[in-house]
């Protein structure tokens, strides 16, 4: 089956809503506003010509990083798989465009960003303690398994801040 993958450039229209599935898998959802612009020769200026909204979902480590990094109004570049949803409500048909994201970042043509790598954790076993195995990225499947009780959003911020050299 062919799937439609696309890259969309826009602004975060809602705050990322972070949750975990029943299995403890992190997921985040937010709306992305994408405004088409065109050059109007007569006025010699760019004109906004309509806004489309996409529901963006991200999973696992990407979900935790988005929740810790994205705020309303920030310019983003989202790469993902397009899904068109249709449903009938009160006798009317509604359509929505959803993106299952596999990459999300700030649009650096419109501002700057400070990247902070998620902390690295070394595997510790008697055999590996003596060897110089490289660190492996932390994968958070559940904040409770990681021992980070308390508010979910605060846990996400803690994870994003681990290993950061910035205050």
Calpha distance 62→139 (Å, rounded): 10
Q: What is the pLDDT of residue 123?
A: 53
Average pLDDT (52-75) is: 97
User: What pLDDT is stored for residue 2 in this prediction?
Assistant: 81
Side-chain half-sphere CA neighbours of 144 within 13 A: 7
> Does 84 reside within a domain?
yes
pLDDT digits (tens, 9 = 90+) for 152-166: 445 445 544 443 333
SS3 36: strand
166 in a structural domain: no
pLDDT at 97: 93
- For residue 2, give both structure tokens: 């062919």
Give the pLDDT score at 164. Answer: 38
Structural domain that includes position 74:
5-161
Query: Do the domain assignments include residue 127?
Result: yes
Residue 119: the pLDDT is 77
Q: Are 30 and 69 in contact (CB under 8 A)?
A: no
Judge whether residue 145 has pLDDT over 50: no
Instruction: Name the least confident of 48-52, 72-76, 99-103.
Output: 48-52
CATH number of the CATH domain containing 25 = 2.40.50.140
Number of domains in the chain: 1
Q: How much of the chain, in percent, has pLDDT values that exceed 90?
A: 65
Question: β-strands 75-89, 136-137: how paired?
Answer: unpaired
In a domain, 76, yes or no: yes
* Bridge partners for 50 per DSSP: none
pLDDT at 111 > cutoff 60: yes
Contact 21, 142 (CB under 8 A): no
The percentage of residues in the chain with a pLDDT greater than 70, rounded to a whole number, is 71
String of b and e for 33-63 (b: at least 16 CB within 10 Å)?
Answer: bbeeeeeeeeeeeeeeeeeeebbbbbbebbb
- In whole angstroms, what is the distance from residue 9 CA to residue 78 CA? 6
Average per-residue pLDDT for the chain: 80
């Amino acid at each position: 089956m062919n799937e439609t993958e696309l890259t969309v450039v826009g602004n975060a229209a809602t705050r990322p809503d972070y949750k975990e599935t029943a299995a403890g898998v992190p997921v985040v959802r937010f709306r992305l506003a994408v405004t088409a612009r065109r050059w109007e020769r007569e006025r010699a200026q760019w004109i906004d010509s309509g806004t489309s909204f996409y529901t963006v979902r991200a999973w696992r480590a990407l979900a935790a990083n988005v929740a810790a990094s994205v705020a309303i109004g920030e310019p983003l570049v989202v790469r993902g798989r397009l899904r068109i949803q249709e449903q009938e409500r009160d006798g009317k048909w509604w359509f929505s465009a959803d993106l299952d994201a596999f990459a999300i970042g700030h649009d650096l043509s419109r501002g700057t960003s400070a990247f902070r790598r998620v902390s690295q954790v070394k595997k510790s076993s008697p055999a590996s303690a003596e060897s110089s195995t490289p660190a492996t990225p932390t994968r958070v499947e559940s904040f409770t398994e990681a021992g980070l009780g308390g508010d979910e959003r605060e846990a996400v911020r803690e994870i994003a801040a681990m290993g950061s050299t910035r205050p």
